[in-house]
């Protein structure tokens, strides 16, 4: 079949594959896994900067993604999702009316098939840890290569998070047993030391429960044991103790 133009795109369809022209050469567009024109992802981009949204939209359109909607805040996110099912939400962390990680559980409950991809300037380890705890699909920094965003969008079709992604590293760290402070003068158990790393990252009891797949009551018991052994009055004092003692933490590098 001779190549023919796709309406409105710089893409051509030939021999059962989508192709695009790059430097006047035919190249197969790997990130576009569409078999037919109707099989297009529905993407919602939540971004309070029109300029940033325009850049993301152009980047995705060049890669063959056609259906890209825009939301300025959380109210508009819910409005867009209610009016039309979407496969993927690409979103910043903060809006004037909500923080994404505070409402992620609600979004998953109402729209269980929706995947959430955090695309942000915020390189704080706490945000990354909370994203893992709230079952976000992936976490990509805007300061990184745009190829990271495109890879994550492509992988969202299969549901598999890229192994080299920040979220994969975060989940692996949060579910592993890290080395205790040296010396372990507080005599924390392995589980309590693990809970301490979560407290130091600012996770709530519910988020710790999500990460470790243990009951909320069990988490509360472990937290109380940690505070008692550290002689800490609250979670903040426990986090400061962990920092001073060099308890391992999440690294975004």
Could you tell me if residue 252 is inside a domain? no
Could you tell me if residue 249 is inside a domain? no
Could you tell me if residue 209 is inside a domain? yes
| Co-location of 62 and 121 in the same domain | yes
Give whichever of 31-40, 209-218, 242-251 has the largest mean pLDDT.
209-218
Contacts of 121 (CB under 8 A, 6+ apart): 141, 142, 143
Render pLDDT for 209-236 as a digit per residue (tens, 0 to 9): 999 999 999 999 999 999 999 999 999 9
pLDDT score at 213: 95
| Co-location of 122 and 101 in the same domain | yes
Could you tell me if residue 23 is inside a domain? yes
- Its sign, for the CA torsion 193, 194, 196, 200, is positive
| Co-location of 26 and 61 in the same domain | no
With 60 as the cut, is the pLDDT of residue 49 above it?
yes
Could you tell me if residue 13 is inside a domain? yes
Cα–Cα distance list, 53 to 68, 90, 121, 195, 235 (Å) = 10, 10, 14, 38, 38
Closest among 161, 200, 206, 198 to 176, alpha carbons compared: 198
Could you tell me if residue 219 is inside a domain? yes
Q: What is the CATH number of the domain that holds 96?
A: 3.40.50.2300
| Co-location of 25 and 40 in the same domain | no
Residue 70, classed as helix, strand or coil, is: strand
> Could you tell me if 178 and 194 are in contact, meaning their C-beta atoms sit under 8 angstroms apart?
yes
> What does the alpha-carbon distance between residue 186 and residue 5 come to, in Å, rounded to a whole number?
68
| Co-location of 44 and 136 in the same domain | yes
Q: What is the CATH number of the domain that holds 209?
A: 1.10.10.10
* Structural domain boundaries enclosing 23: 1-30
| Co-location of 69 and 153 in the same domain | yes
Render pLDDT for 164-187 as a digit per residue (tens, 0 to 9): 899 999 999 999 987 776 666 678
Render pLDDT for 100-128 as a digit per residue (tens, 0 to 9): 999 999 999 999 999 999 999 999 999 99
| Co-location of 102 and 182 in the same domain | no
Render pLDDT for 64-100 as a digit per residue (tens, 0 to 9): 998 999 999 999 999 999 999 999 999 999 999 999 9
| Co-location of 108 and 222 in the same domain | no
Using alpha carbons only, what angle is made at residue 144 by residues 147 and 26, rounded to the nearest 5 degrees?
A: 20
Q: How big is the chain, counted in residues?
A: 253
Reading phi first (left if > 0) and then psi (alpha if -120 to 50, else beta), residue 16 is in: left
Could you tell me if residue 251 is inside a domain? no
Count: domains in the chain: 3
Per-position b or e across 88-100, b if 16+ CB within 10 A of its CB: bbbbbbbbeeeeb
pTM assigned to the model: 0.81
| Co-location of 206 and 228 in the same domain | yes
> What does the alpha-carbon distance between residue 242 and residue 244 come to, in Å, rounded to a whole number?
6
| Tokens read off for 44 | 């919602």
| Co-location of 48 and 114 in the same domain | yes
| Tokens read off for 193 | 């030391």
Give whichever of 3-17, 21-35, 101-115 has the largest mean pLDDT.
101-115
| Co-location of 20 and 69 in the same domain | no
| Co-location of 192 and 129 in the same domain | no
Q: Which residue matches tokens 């990184």?
A: 144
């Amino acid at each position: 079949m001779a190549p023919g133009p796709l309406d409105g795109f710089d893409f051509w369809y030939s021999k059962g594959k989508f192709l695009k022209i790059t430097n006047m050469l035919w190249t197969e567009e790997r990130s576009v896994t569409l078999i037919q024109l109707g099989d297009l992802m529905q993407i919602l981009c939540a971004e309070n900067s029109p300029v940033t949204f325009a850049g993301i939209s152009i980047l995705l359109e060049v890669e063959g993604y056609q259906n890209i909607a825009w939301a300025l805040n959380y109210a508009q996110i819910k409005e867009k999702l209610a009016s039309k099912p979407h496969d993927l939400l690409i979103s910043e962390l903060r809006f004037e009316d909500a923080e994404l990680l505070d409402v992620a559980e609600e979004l998953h409950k109402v729209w269980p098939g929706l995947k959430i991809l955090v695309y942000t300037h915020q390189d704080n380890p706490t945000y990354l840890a909370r994203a893992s705890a709230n079952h976000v699909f992936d976490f990509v920094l805007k300061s990184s290569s745009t190829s990271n965003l495109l890879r994550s969008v492509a992988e969202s079709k299969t549901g598999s998070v890229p192994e080299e992604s920040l979220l994969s590293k975060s989940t692996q760290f949060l579910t592993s047993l890290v080395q205790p402070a040296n010396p372990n003068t507080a005599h924390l158990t392995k589980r309590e030391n693990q809970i301490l790393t979560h407290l130091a990252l600012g996770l709530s009891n519910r988020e710790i429960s999500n990460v470790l797949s243990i009951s909320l009551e069990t988490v509360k018991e472990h937290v109380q044991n940690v505070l008692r052994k550290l002689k800490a009055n609250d979670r903040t004092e426990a986090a400061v103790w962990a920092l001073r003692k060099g308890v391992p933490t999440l690294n975004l590098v």
